[in-house]
């Protein structure tokens, strides 16, 4: 979509990707995962001459929420995330809980919510078919995946309340084989660089765990081989 805003800012010592997305006409934006360096985020917002209308959290880990309070208090805007994340002690209560099928709109851009736990119980992803161009390249749409899946990697599950089975099931069903998405969707992850669904289908080293939905439904080799495969170490991941 022309006249849209989409910015990627890498902030903090953990290299969290904070995103600004919104309408280039109304100059209204959402802030996604403001993990650190509030001055950097504020400078970019000022350069865009944009007005934040909300803060969206893909999950509650501090590298994604580090300057949440600073920005909320400056702009007095609502906070959005999934209620399962509210058990995290550092979080402010959301003004609206986000669930599967919900939509957040800004201008003519719709952000569709997917519940994609695994890295954390209440992790979410957000996709839109309304943005088809980023940094000069054309896509069928975009998806913000938080710490579910990265370029050539996946999220950690060894942290508190992580779950490997949920992580890989949600990557498979909600991202890789989601009929609403195509191979030419741009993945905007919580860490690391840009990638696409097609690239991760073929190049992600954990791709053998991205099972088709019918294989999860039938529990094909789940009880035996899959649990052994899931012992693959991913503890070094972001």
* pLDDT for residue 166 is more than 90: no
Query: Given a cut of 90, is residue 100 above it in pLDDT?
Result: yes
Residue range 217-224: mean pLDDT, rounded: 50
* 77 Cβ contact list (under 8 Å, min separation 6): 52, 53, 54, 55, 71
Q: How many CB atoms lie within 10 A of CB 92?
A: 15
3-state secondary structure of 73: helix
Of 209 and 15, the structure prediction assigns the larger pLDDT to: 15
Q: Residue 42's pLDDT is what?
A: 97
162 secondary structure, DSSP code: -
- Residues 6+ positions from 235 with CB-CB distance below 8 Å: 156, 158
Residue 55: pLDDT over 80: yes
Q: Which of 90-94, 172-176, 206-210, 219-223 has the highest mean pLDDT?
A: 172-176
- The domain locations on the chain are 4-229
pLDDT value of position 129 = 94
> β-strand 133-134 against 137-138: which pairing, if any?
antiparallel
pLDDT higher than threshold 70 for residue 226: no
> Distance (Å, rounded) from C-alpha 49 to C-alpha 27?
7
Confidence of residue 135 (pLDDT cuts 50, 70, 90): confident
Residue 50 has pLDDT above 80, yes or no: yes
User: Which is higher by pLDDT, 19 or 155?
Assistant: 19
Give the Cα separation of 215 and 198 in Å (integer): 20
Q: What is the mean pLDDT of residues 25-45?
A: 94
| CATH architecture, domain 4-229 | 4-Layer Sandwich (3.60)
* Residue, of 178 and 237, whose pLDDT is higher: 178
21, 50 contact by CB (below 8 A): no
10-14: list long-range contacts, CB under 8 Å, 24+ apart. 11/35, 11/36, 11/37, 11/40, 11/41, 12/36, 12/37, 12/63, 12/66, 14/63, 14/191, 14/238
Task: Report residue 228's pLDDT band, with 50, 70 and 90 as the boundaries.
Answer: low
């Amino acid at each position: 979509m022309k006249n849209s805003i989409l910015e990627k800012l890498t902030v903090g010592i953990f290299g969290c990707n904070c995103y600004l997305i919104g309408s280039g006409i109304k100059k209204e934006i959402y802030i996604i995962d403001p993990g650190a360096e509030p001055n950097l985020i504020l400078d970019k917002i000022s350069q865009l001459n944009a007005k934040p209308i909300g803060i969206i959290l893909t999950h509650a880990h501090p590298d994604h929420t580090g300057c949440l309070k600073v920005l909320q208090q400056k702009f007095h805007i609502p906070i959005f995330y999934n209620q399962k994340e509210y058990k995290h002690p550092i979080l402010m209560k959301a003004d609206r809980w986000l669930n599967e099928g919900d939509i957040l709109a800004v201008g003519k851009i719709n952000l569709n919510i997917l519940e994609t736990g695994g890295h954390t119980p209440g992790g979410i992803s957000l996709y839109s078919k309304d943005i088809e161009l980023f940094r000069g390249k054309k896509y069928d749409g975009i998806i913000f995946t938080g710490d579910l899946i990265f370029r050539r990697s996946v999220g950690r599950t060894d942290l508190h309340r992580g779950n490997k089975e949920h992580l890989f099931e949600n990557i498979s069903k909600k991202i890789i084989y989601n009929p609403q998405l195509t191979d030419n969707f741009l993945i905007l992850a919580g860490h690391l660089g840009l990638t696409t669904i097609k690239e991760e289908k073929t190049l992600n080293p954990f791709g053998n765990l991205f099972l088709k939905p019918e294989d999860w439904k039938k529990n094909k080799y789940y009880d035996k081989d899959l649990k052994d495969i899931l012992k693959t170490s991913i503890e070094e991941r972001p």
